[in-house]
Amino acid sequence: MSFFSFRQKIYPLIALFAGAVVLVFGLIGAKTVIASYFLIGVLCWYLIFGYYKQILRILPAAVFFGGIFAGIAYAASHDPQSALAMANRFGALFLAAVPGMATAPVRMTRSLSQVHTPRPVTLGMLIAMSFVPMLKVEIKRVREAMKTRGAGSILNPKILYRAFLVPLVMRLVNISDTLALSVETRGFAIGKAPYSIYKRESVVLSDILFALGILGGAIAAVIV
């Protein structure tokens, strides 16, 4: 892979860094209009680097929850600045999650291993990044099983508990056991056991430009 290639996705640790910068600077300047401009700029920057799918997935939730809590803040204080601050906080929170959503757990694991991150931290990151997609799949399977058996509406508290929550919890417990065995089988030791990396992750020009754009926007927002 050439250093000047733009064909691979953002280097995982740089994606993690970018998310942290967006969250910190978005929260620090949440009460200012400059923060809104910064977040809009971050959104455009994400689009330039191909985060279309992740933005489309997260945008409805960001608008919904941000709008609700901004409305609550305005109703409680009758201060437009409070509503703006609340909207900016939710915008920063959701935008900070976008780079991580586009990063495959295995790539993050490789990157952390390359910089000799302690194995418990690497394992924790791998499990955390894999949990949400796994949870979505299991929820879908339980819902499909409910429809097949004609269990009824999930809005019924009895049906919600007996036909949805109990099977979901049991499936998650079984998955946790399977995951523990899978990690142990693959030799993912917690101690200082030697390990090798099959495919190494590398930084390319697009990664540097992405990080500089996020960092430069944050610094510009603070200076202005």
Question: What are the distances in angstroms from CA 143 to CA 28, 157, 167, 214?
Answer: 41, 15, 10, 40
> Is 174 inside any structural domain?
yes
Distance CA 125, CA 147 (A): 34
Answer yes or no: is 60 within a domain. yes
CA dist 128 to 36, 64, 87, 123, 140, Å? 30, 25, 27, 9, 19
**Per-residue model confidence (pLDDT) at position 213:** 93
Residue 191: which pLDDT band, with cuts at 50, 70 and 90?
A: low
**Burial class of 168 by CB neighbour count within 10 A (0 to 12, 13 to 18, 19+):** middle
Q: Is residue 2 part of a domain?
A: no
* d(C-alpha 169, C-alpha 115), whole Å: 36
Check whether residue 93 and residue 142 sit in a common domain. Answer: no
pLDDT at 159 over 90: no
pLDDT at position 150 = 76
Domain of 136, in residue numbers: 118-185
Do 16 and 94 lie in one domain? The reply is: yes
For residue 207, being part of any structural domain is answered with yes
pTM of the model: 0.75
Same domain, 20 and 62: yes
123 and 98 assigned to the same domain: no
Query: Is pLDDT larger for residue 109 or for residue 155?
Result: 109
**Looking at the structure, do residues 78 and 141 belong to the same domain, yes or no?**
no
Based on the fold, state whether residues 16 and 90 are members of the same structural domain. Answer: yes
Q: Say if 36 falls within a structural domain.
A: yes
d(CA 187, CA 179): 13
Cα 158 to its chain centre, rounded Å, is 33
The answer to whether residue 218 sits within a structural domain is: yes
With cut-offs at 50, 70 and 90, classify the pLDDT of residue 5.
Answer: very low
Mean per-residue pLDDT, 189-202? 71
Q: 78 and 137 share a domain? A: no
Q: Give the Cβ contact number of residue 71 at 10 Å.
A: 13
Q: Which two tokens stand for residue 49?
A: 């680097």
Looking at residue 1, its pLDDT comes to 47
Check whether residue 57 and residue 99 sit in a common domain.
yes
Q: What is the average per-residue pLDDT within 185-195?
A: 64
Q: Are residues 176 and 68 in the same domain?
A: no
| Residue 108 structure tokens | 């993050």
pLDDT over 90 at 201, yes or no: no
If one compares 82 and 162, the residue with the highest pLDDT of the two is: 82
pLDDT tens digits, one per residue of 11-48: 889 998 999 999 999 888 888 899 899 999 999 999 98
Q: 4: pLDDT confidence band, cut at 50, 70 and 90?
A: very low
Q: How confident is the model at residue 137 (pLDDT cuts 50, 70, 90)?
A: confident
Do residue 40 and residue 77 come from a single domain? yes
* 178 assigned to some structural domain: yes
In the chain, the number of structural domains is: 2
Of 95-99, 147-151, 203-207, 219-223, least confident by mean pLDDT is 147-151
Residue 196 lies in a domain: no
